[in-house]
């Protein structure tokens, strides 16, 4: 299974943009890139996913490198409620059996 | 629909006892997943159901673990002869039959084995 590499933690100021990187150099052509986040004492929550093109939704944007070996989750204007652990995972087919790393703990400073 | 529901939220049990957790997925979702998560780590896949069929089991799922999904609705995860190493958060998720759609997670059941 392809793995992802993320920084252990990142800090950002409230109301500023946040760029969360993810490396996935062994990604295959059929792997989708998914991002989830987990608030303390909660189950993971879907954020966004994409295959090749950049994606936008109401929560975030996903920028995917041309060679697909890395991607960046962009929170355009971070709030205190965005403080969470963010996971980048690769998924093929319809299963969620791929390996989740330890994610990036995002700390938002007021 | 209130989302994925898991019961109980917390369970404390003595080593050697059996425990059973329940997951009620979103009603129209045919796919259901169980994960285990320990402190500071991401979720680890345990098993996957499509309707009532258990299609995938992780090697993490030892013989003491069993999961069922009768009638393709709710699911149960049973751990027999619990060990202290079983202490973790057990997460359930469900998704629709569409390819590469998002999964919805419950809030989990936190198991503490003493």
Q: Give the model confidence (pLDDT) of A76-96 as tens digits.
A: 999 999 999 999 988 765 555
Calculate the average pLDDT of chain B.
92
Q: Give the model confidence (pLDDT) of A14-42 as tens digits.
A: 999 999 999 999 888 888 899 999 998 89
- Structure confidence at residue A102 (pLDDT): 83
- Structure confidence at residue A41 (pLDDT): 86
* C-alpha distance from A15 to closest chain B C-alpha (Å): 27
Calculate the average pLDDT of chain A.
90
Percent residues over pLDDT 70 in chain A: 91
- Structure confidence at residue A98 (pLDDT): 64
| Residue A97: pLDDT over 70 | no
Here the contacts of A35-42 (C-beta below 8 Å, separation 24 or greater) are A35/A60, A35/A62, A35/A73, A35/A86, A35/A87, A35/A88, A35/A89, A36/A86, A36/A87, A36/A89, A37/A82, A37/A84, A37/A85, A37/A86, A37/A87, A38/A84, A38/A85, A38/A87, A38/A103, A39/A83, A39/A84, A40/A84, A41/B107, A42/B107
* Residue of chain B whose alpha carbon sits nearest to that of A40: B107
* C-alpha distance from A76 to closest chain B C-alpha (Å): 21
Out of A34, A41, A96, closest to residue B93 by CB? A96
| Residue B1: pLDDT over 60 | no
């Amino acid at each position: 299974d392809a793995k992802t590499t993320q920084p252990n933690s990142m800090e950002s100021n409230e109301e500023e943009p946040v760029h969360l990187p993810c490396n996935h150099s062994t990604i295959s052509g059929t792997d989708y890139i998914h991002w989830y986040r987990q608030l303390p004492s909660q189950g993971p929550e879907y954020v966004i996913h994409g295959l090749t093109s950049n994606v936008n939704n109401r929560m975030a944007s996903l920028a995917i490198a041309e060679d697909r070996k890395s991607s960046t989750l962009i929170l355009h204007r971070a709030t205190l409620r965005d403080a969470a652990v963010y996971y980048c995972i690769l998924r093929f087919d319809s299963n969620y059996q791929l390996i989740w790393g330890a994610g990036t703990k995002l700390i938002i400073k007021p | 629909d209130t989302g994925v529901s898991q019961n109980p939220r917390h369970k404390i049990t003595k080593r050697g006892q059996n425990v059973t957790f329940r997951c009620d997925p979103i009603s129209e979702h045919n796919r259901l997943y169980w994960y285990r998560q320990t402190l500071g780590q991401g979720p680890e896949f345990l098993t996957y159901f499509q309707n009532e069929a258990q299609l995938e089991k992780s090697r993490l799922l030892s013989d003491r673990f069993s999961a069922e999904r009768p009638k393709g609705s709710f699911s149960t995860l049973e751990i027999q002869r619990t060990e202290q190493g079983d202490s973790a958060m057990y997460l359930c998720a469900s998704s629709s039959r569409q390819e590469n759609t998002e999964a919805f997670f419950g809030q989990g059941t936190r198991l503490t084995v003493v």
